[in-house]
């Protein structure tokens, strides 16, 4: 028989961005059920209010902060809201994001800038302010960034993938910078049926011939929430700089970008470079797109 999960987030105060719907709302419901006090952010105030109301009805503690995370100043206020409502900030789930399709020849500057403003700079602003506050508090802190499998390469998702690759890179960099502190930084690469994913399904079906990992049906958002809750809890102290991939019944880490073997040594003249590619490297190109490690 399953034992009821203990309140692993009792006394934790967390900010969840984009928690008005989809995955963010599912994270908010789950972590609230595990005892966390939640600041519900969304650019859509009605949606944020609905999530917070549902958390309070279920007996949880929640306040709303409506606004766009793409503003650096707003990100500071979001963190302040958590501190003034609940006394401190213990966790940040950097979930809010937007997605626009476009192959490289079709991409619009407006869409690309919008994705970078929200997904990349927005996540950085929230993390910067949250980490400053966590370090000031001296209490254990957990940043949970949200990346995406698209950053490994996906057709017509270059802008979105790049914005999420930057989030993965922030995760590695910040985790390294903070490894001697009690703030840890990880990321989740989730998969769920949400309004964002709905807009993506037709495209994914069209590309299935060129993908190794193909999804036909998507899990419910709730399936992703225990991994986020774990990373927010003290049980994950010691886990740092990882991208946790959760896809239905599959749980894994994503590999980090690494220097691939073989590392050839020599004097790299024009002739030697050409020979190295001809004899070795041309046949050892890295896989393109999301793939299982072999
Ligand atoms: N759904 C998936 O399968 C999937 C896969 C990989 C990664 N992700 C990532 O998971 C996260 C959640 O995705 P989702 O599928 O729930 O998306 P969604 O579009 O359903 O929900 C996103 C929420 O973010 C809010 N939001 C958008 N811009 C904002 C801003 N500037 N400030 C504050 N809030 C804003 C929206 O109003 C919305 O409520 C995103 O980071 C997404 O990139 C999702």
**Secondary structure of 46-93 as H, E, C letters:** HHHHHHHHHHHHCCCEEEEEECCCCCHHHHHHHHHHHHHHHCCCCEEE
For a substitution probing ligand 1, which of 20, 64, 194, 225 has the most ligand atoms within 8 Å of its CB? Answer: 194
The response to whether residue 49 sits with its C-beta less than 6 Å from ligand 1 reads no
Q: What is the pTM of this model?
A: 0.96
Residue-wise pLDDT tens for the chain (294 aa)? 445 578 999 999 999 999 999 999 999 999 999 999 999 999 999 999 999 999 999 999 999 999 999 999 999 999 999 999 999 999 999 999 999 999 999 999 999 999 999 999 999 999 999 999 999 999 999 999 999 999 999 999 999 999 999 999 999 999 999 999 999 999 999 999 999 998 887 777 777 766 777 777 899 999 999 999 999 999 999 999 999 999 999 999 999 999 999 999 999 999 999 999 999 999 999 988 888 876
Structural domain that includes position 75: 13-253
**Residue 221 is encoded by which pair of tokens?**
């958002």
pLDDT tens sequence across 258-289: 999 999 999 999 999 999 999 999 999 998 88
Position 25 in a domain: yes
Residue nearest to atom 36 of ligand 1 (CA): 18
CATH number at residue 205: 3.40.50.720
Residue at token pair 């009805």: 57
State in Å: Cα 263 to ligand 1 middle: 39
Average pLDDT over the chain, rounded to an integer: 95
Number of domains in the chain: 1
pLDDT tens sequence across 11-56: 999 999 999 999 999 999 999 999 999 999 999 999 999 999 999 9
Position 258 in a domain: no
Residue nearest to atom 17 of ligand 1 (CA): 196
Position 1 in a domain: no
Residues catalogued as catalytic: 160
Position 281 in a domain: no
Q: Which atom of ligand 1 is nearest to the CA of 44?
A: 37
Position 8 in a domain: no
Q: What end-to-end distance do the CA atoms of the chain give, in Å?
A: 36
Going by C-alpha positions, the residue among 146, 163, 43 that lies closest to residue 112 is 163
State in Å: Cα 153 to ligand 1 middle: 19
State in Å: Cα 19 to ligand 1 middle: 8
């Amino acid at each position: 028989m399953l034992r009821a999960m203990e309140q692993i987030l009792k006394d934790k105060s967390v900010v969840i961005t984009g928690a008005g719907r989809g995955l963010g709302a599912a994270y908010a419901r789950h972590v609230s059920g595990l005892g966390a006090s939640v600041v519900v952010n969304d650019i859509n105030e009605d949606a944020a209010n609905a999530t917070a109301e549902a958390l309070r009805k279920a007996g949880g503690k929640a306040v709303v902060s409506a606004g766009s995370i793409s503003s650096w100043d707003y990100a500071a206020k979001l963190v302040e809201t958590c501190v003034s409502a609940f006394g401190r900030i213990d966790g940040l789930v950097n979930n809010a994001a937007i997605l626009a399709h476009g192959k490289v020849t079709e991409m619009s500057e407006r869409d690309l800038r919008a994705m970078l403003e929200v997904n990349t700079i927005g996540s950085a602003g929230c993390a910067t302010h949250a980490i400053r506050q966590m370090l000031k508090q001296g209490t254990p802190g957990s940043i949970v960034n949200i990346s995406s499998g698209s950053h490994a390469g996906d057709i017509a998702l270059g802008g979105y993938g790049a914005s999420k690759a930057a989030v993965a890179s922030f995760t590695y960099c910040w985790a390294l910078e903070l490894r001697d502190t009690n703030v840890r930084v990880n990321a989740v690469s989730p998969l769920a049926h949400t309004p964002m994913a709905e807009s993506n399904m037709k495209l994914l079906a069209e590309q299935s011939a060129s993908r190794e990992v193909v999804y036909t049906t998507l899990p419910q958002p709730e399936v992703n929430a225990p991994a986020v809750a774990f990373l927010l809890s003290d049980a994950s102290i010691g886990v740092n700089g990882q991208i946790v991939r959760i896809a239905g019944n599959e749980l894994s880490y994503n590999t980090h970008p690494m220097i691939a073997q073989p590392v050839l040594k020599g004097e790299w003249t024009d002739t030697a470079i050409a020979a190295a590619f001809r004899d070795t490297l041309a046949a050892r190109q890295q896989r393109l797109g999301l793939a299982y490690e072999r």
